[in-house]
Amino acid sequence: MNNSSSYISDSPLAKEFWSMGKSVSCPIYDLHGHMGDYPPIFMPKSDLTAMIETMDDCGVKLLVFSHHLALLTPDLGNQASIEAVKQYPDRLRSYMVFHPKYPEMISETWKTFEKYPEVFVGLKFHPDIHEVPLTDPRFKPAFEYANTHKLIVLSHTWGTSIYNGYKEVNVIAQEYPRIKLLLGHCLHAEWQSATQLAHDFPNVYLELTAVFDDRGAIETLVSGVGSDKVIFGTDLPWFDPHHAIGALLSADITDEDRHNIFHRNAEKLLAPYL
């Protein structure tokens, strides 16, 4: 029998999420999502309707995402993201995917971005997928545009990567101080390096997607730089938000930290767009 008086931890937030699956006082802002199929992965809830159902179940108030088609199918660009946000304008915002290998698309990319201010809150880079380092000149137009307009940029980052590891992020963060740079996956597994970057640069934030399955990483990030630089994300529809929430509730941090991570930091970042 379970002789414990509570599950996961004895924090008030843990009790509320355990009981209800969501929290009235603690809405979730997920700043790293996708949508649609992804070839190597079985994802049973990747369509728009199913994702909204998951968001409702988990108390996710807003998801900022980039459609997989925008990442993988340059022919279609960001159209699928635009259509999804138009269907659920109160629940979704999108990042505009910038593809560095097609310079002929750049001017159209910015036109689309400016045409839909109700859709886009920033840019999404995935150097590992597109196989172009963040420091490559082909990314320069996008960084200059984002820096000029003080945009949020979510970039995939990974500790072992030659495209988006510590060295590349360090250069970019110095060169473009006006962008709000979200390190997707926090340089996965190089938690100390990610913490150092967030400490060194006021414009660098740590985004938690895929961090939740490495116990101790959350504590490392929060103790290293403070919870006001840490942003919640899940890769939905890849990962169930309840898994991420449960991990954050398990971590040895305070409920104040959790409020910062679940919603307060995102509310500040997104304030100009909502």
Question: Which residues are 28's β-sheet partners?
Answer: 60
* Continuous segment of H or E residues that includes residue 156: strand 152-158
Among residues 184 and 237, whose Cβ is nearest to other proteins?
A: 237
Least Å distance, CB 51 to other proteins, is 8
> How far from 160 is each of 8, 31, 183, 255, CA to CA, in Å?
32, 23, 14, 32
The CB-of-37 to other proteins minimum distance in angstroms stands at: 11
Whichever of 97 and 245 has its CB closer to other proteins, that residue is: 245
Nearer to other proteins, 46 or 81 (CB): 46
Contact 31, 64 (CB under 8 A): yes
Give whichever of 231 and 253 is closer to other proteins, judged by the CB atom: 253
DSSP letter at 128 equals H
Closest separation in Å from C-beta 195 to other proteins: 12
- Shortest distance, position 140 Cβ to other proteins, whole Å: 32
Locate tokens 């679940």: which residue? 262
Residue 254 is given by DSSP the state -
Task: Considering the complex, state which of residue 59 and residue 100 has its C-beta at the smaller distance from other proteins.
Answer: 59
Q: How far is the CB of 84 from other proteins (least distance, A)?
A: 16
> Is the separation of the CB atoms in 134 and 163 below 8 Å?
yes
Task: Please give the structure tokens belonging to residue 119.
Answer: 């859709």
Instruction: Name which of 10 and 108 has its Cβ closer to other proteins.
Output: 10
Q: How many CB atoms lie within 10 A of CB 11?
A: 16
Please state the closest distance from residue 25 (CB atom) to other proteins, in A.
17
The CA–CA distances, whole Å, from 244 to 58, 152, 211 equal 10, 22, 9
Interacting residue ranges for other proteins, rule: CB under 8 A: 1-4, 6-10, 14, 17-18, 21, 40-46, 50-51, 54, 57-58, 191, 210, 212-217, 219-220, 236-251
CA 108 to each of CA 85, 98, 146: distance values in angstroms, whole numbers, following the listed order = 19, 11, 15
